[in-house]
């Protein structure tokens, strides 16, 4: 490992020691369950929106068994407006598996975490790292962006994770017990400083060695990056349908759902999708509800 890389690691960890946000899933009192819930919530939703929902979940369901004892629809309702509500179902299913297979305690072994329903390789690595202090490659979008710039001289990483990227991240990961700190530090740098649109290089602890900056910040020359379209999409329709169903404890008649979106074909497609995803339960007499509630 070169002296430059070693000093980059030290600088990022020193920066983190003074700039880290005070987040509840990072405190010494955090539980593995709290870490798992936070990781799933944070996958597609910013911290500011996750934090209040995370607090309310932890208060209501401090242990996996508490959530596992609920109907899935209750978890979906408590998911509120975090978006991509299938994540609530995945957490509910994971809680059930933790109770059934692990006596209600979140397992620490990476393979056991990965075997939980709805837990992918990123989440398993993140929980093993941040809840149990293990050494795993934790490669989220923030980490990928920082390393693409600082180490590879590219403004943005490839669309999907490459083997080379994995090897680079693994090579940078400390072999001692500072591995979790490095992972969370580089993630935080991506979230706060090396942001996608406007990196604040003037405030960056590794500006002096960043390959992309030293190359004059060349613009992205890969395939166009996907935007997060929302207006007029099926996702927007699904969101409106879910908002109606979340907002009541009673089954909702179809005509009330029909009122949320004028284009019938798109609306029916969205509703069918919600039903097949297990997020909405159709009842007799054209009534719909969240599953089980
Ligand atoms: S110098 Fe700028 S581009 Fe490079 S890692 Fe820091 S914030 Fe990102």
**Residue 222, pLDDT score:** 76
State whether CATH 1.10.238.10 applies to domain 1-19+135-227. Answer: no
pLDDT tier for residue 229 given thresholds of 50, 70 and 90: confident
231 is known as an active-site residue: no
Question: What is the rounded CA–CA span in Å between residue 147 and residue 194?
Answer: 10
Domain locations in the chain as residue ranges = 1-19+135-227, 31-130, 234-289
pLDDT for 226 beyond 90: no
Q: Is the pLDDT reported for residue 231 higher than 90?
A: no
The rounded Å distance from CA 120 to ligand 1 centre is: 29
For the ranges 9-18, 127-136, 223-232, 272-281, the lowest mean pLDDT is seen at: 223-232
- Of the listed ranges 61-70, 124-133, 213-222, the least confidently predicted one is 213-222
Is the per-residue pLDDT at 53 higher than 70? yes
Alpha carbon of 201 to ligand 1 centroid (Å): 5
What pLDDT is attached to residue 1?
Answer: 60
pLDDT band at 6 (very low <50, low <70, confident <90, very high): confident
CATH code, 31-130: 1.10.340.30
Mean pLDDT calculated for residue range 96-115: 98
**224: pLDDT strictly greater than 80:** no
> What integer pLDDT is reported at residue 211 of this predicted model?
93
Mutate to test the pocket of ligand 1, among 154, 204, 214 (most ligand atoms within 8 A of CB): 204
- Ligand 1 center–CA 217 separation, angstroms: 9
- The CB of 210 under 6 Å from ligand 1? The reply is yes
CA angle 31, 118, 70 (to 5 degrees): 65
Burial of 108 from C-beta contacts in 10 A (0-12 / 13-18 / 19+): middle
Task: Of 112-116, 153-157, 217-221, give the range with the top mean pLDDT.
Answer: 112-116
To the question of pTM greater than 0.85 for the whole model, the response is: yes
Kindly report, residue by residue over 29-42, the tens digit of the pLDDT: 999 999 999 999 99
Q: Is the CB of 47 under 6 A from ligand 1?
A: no
- pLDDT given at position 29: 94
Burial of 264 (0-12, 13-18, 19+ CB in 10 A): exposed
Largest Cα–Cα separation, the chain: 70
Architecture per CATH, domain 234-289, reads as Orthogonal Bundle (1.10)
CA neighbours within 13 Å on the CB side: how many for 88? 29
Q: Which of 39, 165, 188, 281 is catalytic?
A: 39
Cβ 207 under 6 angstroms from ligand 1: yes
Tell the residue nearest (CA) to atom 5 of ligand 1: 150
Atom of ligand 1 minimally distant from the CA of 211: 4
**Ramachandran assignment for 158, one of left (phi > 0), alpha (psi -120 to 50 degrees), beta (any other):** beta
124 token code pair? 């398993």
pLDDT tens-digit profile of 256-293?
Answer: 999 999 999 999 999 999 999 999 999 999 999 999 98
């Amino acid at each position: 490992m070169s002296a430059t890389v070693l000093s980059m690691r030290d600088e990022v960890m020193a920066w983190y020691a003074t700039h880290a946000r005070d987040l509840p899933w990072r405190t010494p009192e955090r539980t593995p369950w709290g870490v798992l819930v936070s990781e799933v919530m944070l996958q597609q939703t910013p911290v500011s929106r996750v934090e209040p929902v995370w607090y309310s979940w932890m208060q209501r369901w401090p242990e996996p068994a508490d959530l596992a004892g609920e109907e899935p629809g209750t978890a979906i309702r408590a998911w509120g407006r975090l978006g991509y509500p299938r994540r609530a179902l995945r957490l509910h299913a994971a809680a059930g598996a933790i109770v059934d297979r692990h006596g209600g305690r979140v397992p620490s072994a990476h393979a056991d975490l990965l075997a939980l329903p709805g837990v992918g390789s990123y989440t398993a690595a993140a929980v093993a790292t941040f809840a149990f202090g293990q050494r795993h490659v934790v490669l989220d979008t923030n980490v990928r962006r920082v390393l693409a710039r600082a180490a590879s001289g590219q403004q943005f990483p490839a669309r999907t994770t490459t083997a080379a990227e994995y090897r680079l991240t693994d090579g940078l990961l400390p072999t001692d017990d500072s591995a979790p700190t490095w992972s969370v530090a580089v993630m935080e740098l991506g979230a706060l400083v090396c942001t996608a649109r406007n990196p604040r290089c003037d405030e960056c602890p590794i500006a002096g060695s960043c390959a992309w900056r030293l190359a004059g910040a060349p613009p992205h020359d890969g395939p166009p990056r996907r935007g997060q379209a929302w207006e007029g999409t099926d996702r927007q329709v699904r969101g409106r349908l879910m908002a109606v169903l979340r907002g009541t404890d009673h089954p909702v008649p179809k005509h009330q759902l029909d009122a949320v979106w004028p284009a019938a074909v798109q609306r029916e497609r969205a509703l069918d999708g919600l039903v097949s995803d297990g997020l909405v339960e159709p009842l007799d007499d054209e009534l719909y509800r969240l599953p089980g509630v």
